[in-house]
Amino acid sequence: MGHKLITVNGGHSEKAPGAGAFGYKEHEYALMIKDKVIARLKSVGVNAIDTTSSASTPSAVLVEQAKKCNAQPKGGRLDVSIHLNAGGGTGCEVLYYSEKALAAKVSEAIAKVTGYKNRGAKERKELYFLRHTSAPAILIEVCFIDSKNDMKILNAKMNDIANAIVKAITGKSVHEPKPAPKPPKKDGNKDDLYKVQTGAFKDKGNAEKLAKELKKKGISTYITKE
């Protein structure tokens, strides 16, 4: 906690999209989660920078991510990469080089708001992103893209997941903005037609008499028979 700057990237890139299943692409979901996390970090007063790569190969993506992170001041910085897992499993986990406690906290927070299996913190010092950033870093595997249930939950609870990540990293709660009030419903529209009935008679003569009186007063009338 107390990070002066947090960099966040959506894992992989458009041309090197990572894992995929059921029509889902890892990079596209990583981007959505990344955007939500950055917006929420800023909403609680934390300086957040997007370090997503646009490189066309997996190795080039990793190099560009690390360079973008390391271009920022090192002191007080945390580097975060957002991913979706694959391989037939289920649940969330957070990979780390040195930040075991933070990784465990983030994984637990995601599991709590989603019901995912908490796979916990996993040391992965061999991963390029974790090994080459000059500041502490974590890589969040939000869920398994090849699990239909994981993805169903992700689609339903993406905002909750982003809130949980921010709270676990910063200790600050995100307050979702209240939806704007709906405009009052108008009573009808310009095409509506309203009618006023002034009388009903069994004798047609009486109806014609009233119609004549109303016409003399400039009121348009007509007689109908039910």
pTM of the model: 0.77
In a domain? residue 176: no
pLDDT at 1: 56
Same domain? For 119 and 208 the reply is no
pLDDT at 185: 62
Range of the domain at 35: 5-170
pLDDT at 183: 66
Residue 98, by phi and psi: left (phi above 0), alpha (psi -120 to 50) or beta?
A: alpha
194 vs 36, residue with greater confidence: 36
User: Pick from 51, 57, 44, 30: which is nearest to 161 by CA?
Assistant: 30
Number of domains in the chain: 2
Same domain? For 122 and 204 the reply is no
